[in-house]
Structure 1
Amino acid sequence: MEVEDLATQWERLHLSKEESYFFHINPKNYTEEDARGKNCLVGKALTKKSVNNEAFRVTMSQIWKLEGWVIFKELGEQCFLIEFQKLIDKDRVLSGCPWFFDRHRLTMMEVDETISIHALQFRFEPFWVQLHNLPLATMTEEFGQQFAGSIGHVIRVEAEADGRAWGRCLRVRVAVDLHKPLLRGKWLMLGEK
C-alpha cells in the first residue's frame, strides 16, 4: 500500500513555472584560453571502501615523479580532480595508465568542462593488449587497427614507420570497457588456415 502512495505522490510532483525555465549560458564566454580543465584529470579509485585522501595525495605525487606541482581536490565517492601545473606531467600520467592505489584500480579521464562531475562515467580505460601467435603477414598497423577494434576503441598500434609490427607479439593500446569481462582470446582465420 505504501508503494502505491509513493507512486501516486511521485506522479503529482511537477516543477513550478519558474523552476521549469532553462538558464542559458553563452558558450562564447568560456574560451579555450580560459579553460583550466586542459591541465586537469578526474580520477576515481574503483573500490567501495573510502579512500584516505591524504595518503592518496602523497602516494600518487611520489609515484608520478612530476616536474611541477599537482593539486588534488576531493569530489566524493573516491573521486578526485587532479590539476597539474605542467601539461607534460598530465600527459605522462595519462600515458602511464593503468595506475593503482591501495591495490585498487585508479581510472582517469580528461576533464570536459561542459559536463557535470556527477554525469562522468568511468567506463573505458586504456590498456596495452598483446596479440600473440599471429602470422607475420598480419603483424601490421592496419591489421592491428581492424582486429583490436573488436576489443574496443583503438588508440594506437605499436608499429614501425612502414606499418610493419614484426616481433614477439603485436601491441595495441585499446580503450577497454571496464563493465565487460576481458577477452581471453579470439580465433583468427587467414585464407583457409
Structure 2
Amino acid sequence: MAEEVAQRLENISIMPKKEEDIVINEEELKLKAVTQCIFSLVGRLFTKKHYNMIAFKEAIRSAWDVSHEVGIVDVSDNLYHFRFGLEVLMNRVLVGGPWCFDNHLLLRRWHEEMVASNVVFEIVDLWVQMWGLPFEFLSLEIGNAIGRRIGEVMDVDRRAEEME
C-alpha cells in the first residue's frame, strides 16, 4: 500500500502539461506604477536613530490628519515613500505640514525614475516665523522682502492684511 501511494505521488505534477510563456506588457505596467506614485512624496529622517515603524506611521498619519489615506513604505535607511490616494491630500501636507517627525523629517515630491540611491534633498520648503518685529513691519511687503533675503518666497502670512 505504501509503495502504491509513493508511486502515485511521483506521478503528480503541479506544472501544466504545456508550458506557456508569461507575457508582460512593460508599458502598461510602467504606466500603472507611475499612476500609483503620481501623488506621492519621499521623506528622510536625517538621524542615526531608528524608530518604531508602526509608531512612526501612526504619528505621521495623525499629524497629517490622513488616517489610512496614505501608504507609508520604509524604502531604506530612514527613507520613506508616502503614497497618497488623492492629490488634494498630498498638497495639503506639502502646504501645511508638519514636515518633521521628532525634528528630523524632510519631504520632497516624488518624480519618475527616482530610486533610493538618487534621492537628494538640496532644496526644502520652510515656514519662517519672525518674532519681535515692530507692528509697522507686519505687512506683505516686509514679509516678501525678508523672504527674498532667505530664498524663494512661496507665500506670506496674510493675517496683517485681513485686519485692515
Identify whether the pair has TM-score above 0.5, normalized to the shorter chain.
yes
Alpha-carbon shift at residue 44 of structure 1 (Å): 1.3
Alpha-carbon shift at residue 80 of structure 1 (Å): 0.5
Give the equivalent residue in structure 2 for 1:40.
40
Distance in 2, matches of 1:139 and 1:63, equals 30
Correspondence list, 1:41-56, <5 A: 41-56=41-56
In structure 2, what residue type is equivalent to 1:50? H
- Alpha-carbon displacement from aligned partner over 1:102-126 (angstroms, at most 9, x marks no partner): x232111111114433222223332
Q: TM-score, normalised by structure 2?
A: 0.64
Give the equivalent residue in structure 2 for 1:171.
none
Q: Closer, same or farther in 2 for the Cα pair 1:91/1:68, shift >3 Å?
A: farther
Identity level (%): 24
Query: Does structure 1 retain, via aligned residues, the 8 Å contact 2:43–2:80?
Result: yes
Q: Is the strand fraction higher in 1 or 2? A: 1
Query: Does structure 1 retain, via aligned residues, the 8 Å contact 2:140–2:158?
Result: yes
Give the equivalent residue in structure 1 for 2:72.
72
- Alpha-carbon displacement from aligned partner over 1:153-189 (angstroms, at most 9, x marks no partner): 21112348xxx8487xxxxxxxxxxxxxxxxxxxxxx
Name stretches of at least 5 consecutive residues in structure 2 with no aligned partner.
Answer: 1-29
Aligned residues: 134
Q: Closer, same or farther in 2 for the Cα pair 1:80/1:60, shift >3 Å?
A: same
Query: Does structure 2 retain, via aligned residues, the 8 Å contact 1:139–1:166?
Result: no
Q: Is the helix fraction higher in 1 or 2? A: 2
Structure ranking higher on relative contact order (CA contacts 8 Å, 6+ apart): 2
Name stretches of at least 5 consecutive residues in structure 1 with no aligned partner.
Answer: 1-29, 168-193
Q: TM-score, normalised by structure 1?
A: 0.55
Matched, 1:133 2:131: no
Distance in 2, matches of 1:97 and 1:148, equals 19
Secondary structure in 2 matching 1:156:
coil
Secondary structure in 2 matching 1:80:
strand
Structure whose alpha-carbon radius of gyration is higher? 2
Distance in 2, matches of 1:58 and 1:151, equals 34
Alpha-carbon shift at residue 63 of structure 1 (Å): 2.8
Alpha-carbon shift at residue 83 of structure 1 (Å): 0.5
Q: Closer, same or farther in 2 for the Cα pair 1:54/1:150, shift >3 Å?
A: same
Give the equivalent residue in structure 2 for 1:24.
none
Query: Does structure 2 retain, via aligned residues, the 8 Å contact 1:84–1:90?
Result: yes
Alpha-carbon shift at residue 86 of structure 1 (Å): 1.8
Give the equivalent residue in structure 1 for 2:58.
58
Alpha-carbon shift at residue 72 of structure 1 (Å): 1.1
- Alpha-carbon displacement from aligned partner over 1:27-58 (angstroms, at most 9, x marks no partner): xxx77xx5433211111112111222222122
Q: Closer, same or farther in 2 for the Cα pair 1:133/1:121, shift >3 Å?
A: farther
Give the equivalent residue in structure 2 for 1:26.
none
Secondary structure in 2 matching 1:104:
coil
Secondary structure in 2 matching 1:88:
helix
Query: Does structure 1 retain, via aligned residues, the 8 Å contact 2:79–2:116?
Result: no
Query: Does structure 2 retain, via aligned residues, the 8 Å contact 1:68–1:84?
Result: no
Distance in 2, matches of 1:51 and 1:95, equals 25
Give the equivalent residue in structure 1 for 2:153.
154
